[in-house]
Amino acid sequence: MKWLVLLGLVALSECIVKIPLTKMKTMQEAIREKQLLEDFLDEQPHSLSQHSDPDKKFSSHQLKNFQNAVYFGTITIGTPPQEFQVNFDTGSSDLWVPSVDCQSPSCSKHKRFDPQKSTTFQPLNQKIELVYGSGTMKGVLGSDTIQIGNLVIVNQIFGLSQNQSSGVLEQVPYDGILGLAYPSLAIQGTTPVFDNLKNREVISEPVFAFYLSSRPENISTVMFGGVDHTYHKGKLQWIPVTQARFWQVAMSSMTMNGNVVGCSQGCQAVVDTGTSLLVGPTHLVTDILKLINPNPILNDEQMLSCDAINSLPTLLLTINGIVYPVPPDYYIQRFSERICFISFQGGTEILKNLGTSETWILGDVFLRLYFSVYDRGNNRIGLAPAA
């Protein structure tokens, strides 16, 4: 699931793999500073940097961050391996990358997979179409060897994009998406990457976790097969998944300064690494923006003077009896030295079959504050303050 800003416990066992991620600034700034983005990507090492331990399956690769909003890391596909930057997305379940057959402008700005150069590629010739909050892709299915750090999956089915919408998917610095939600969201007849890691015992525990850094000096990380507790403070609080499709949990309230601003009768929240913002029903987000920003600038309700940050209220989210504060310096992002952007967005009313009339998406704004663990073995999410 993609809502991007348009201005984006000890290791459990022997098999723990960490993949450092990178993050980038808000999309509108990236578009405005396209040359800066291109220079940044040119400067980054694109080869996998592996660190192996004979007793622990540990793999990490380091990428510098490009500021704020989108997190992505490196995988390889094929034999010999072709490298791609992908968004590790808990809000979807499919893996796809652009294909050499894709001629749309969105594909031409990214690395494209060439099946002819892989000796292990198998075409499946099934047409697919995937729709995200940030755009669509159309293509076909194939299968090949996928590698994430030192984790290897043979015969993994994935999508080869042959047509992508312009806009966000064109401007993002990653090539494709690797979905980490439940298999019920995946293309019918396919098995998601994480399920193959789990089912084929490539990892020893059916868990993965994210540390999304809010500071450039800290490396953001996704880890598979275990949890490194040095990335969080205090005890993990476990929350049961309410519906095994998205990583969806029950939320009981949302307040600011003691006033209920959402979830007044309980609601559902989707924990989504692939979404930049806090996303909710449009009418409630409109009211929150009016509360936060009674005097918008530039005729935009999401824009305000950065001088106002210190006077803004903290958002309090109550999930499974625990209150998770989100202070204004996390839900506000700097657009320039004086102009700031409020990281709330409407639109969840379009989501169907979530078993609720009110849904919120807790994206990277929330996940930079809270280290998150996704436990498929027990269908639960663990949250703790990020270190």
Catalytic residues: 89, 272
In three state form, how does the secondary structure of the chain look? CCCCCCCCCCCCCCECEEEEEEEECCHHHHHHCHHHHHHHHHHCCCCCCCCCCCCCECCCCCCCCECCCEEEEEEEECCCCEEEEEEEECCCCCEEEEECCCCCHHHHCCCCECHHHCCCCEEEEEEEEEEECCEEEEEEEEEEEEEECCEEEEEEEEEEEEEECCCHHHHCCCCEEEECCCHHHCCCCCCCHHHHHHHCCCCCCCEEEEECCCCCCCCEEEEECCCCHHHECCCCEEEECCEECCEEEEECEEEECCEEEECCCCEEEEECCCCCCEEECHHHHHHHHHHHCCCCECCECCEEEHHHHHHCCCEEEEECCEEEEECHHHHEEECCCCEEEECEEECHHHCCCCCCCCEEEECHHHHCCEEEEEECCCCEEEEEEEC
